[in-house]
Amino acid sequence: MALFTIILEYRGGTYIAQYAANGPSQALARWAQHAVSRKSVAPLSARAKAALVQALSEGEGRLDGPTPIAGLPNVWCAGFPIPGGLVNVIKTDPRKSAKER
């Protein structure tokens, strides 16, 4: 498993989370389940959550991605099933950077 960072830009806010997963699709699905069940995205309305749950139940194809970003290894973008949302998925090295040591 690898560590993935999920970044959502939605309604003027930036929401960031990390999940261990076998790939970007699985990380995105884990994030979406968490966003729905634990209210981790504050402005996500009941209607938006229902759309996200429906997209997950219909499979990865409904989430429109994740699609690799050209020229950026280990970075993907995914369409959010709610207007105005964009999700980026980044495969992240869990080791601390030199600046954090």
Count of domains observed in the chain? 1
Q: Where are the alpha helices (DSSP H) in the chain?
A: 24-37, 46-57
Place of tokens 């980026």: 88
At residue 86's C-alpha, the angle toward residues 4 and 39, to 5°, is: 70
**Nearest residue to 86 via CA among 98, 76, 97:** 76
pLDDT digits (tens, 9 = 90+) for 58-93: 654 455 668 899 999 999 988 766 766 778 899 998
pLDDT digits (tens, 9 = 90+) for 24-64: 988 888 887 777 666 666 667 777 777 776 776 665 445 56
Q: Which domain holds residue 60?
A: 2-100
Helices (H) and strands (E) in the chain, counts: 2, 5
Residue type, 43: P
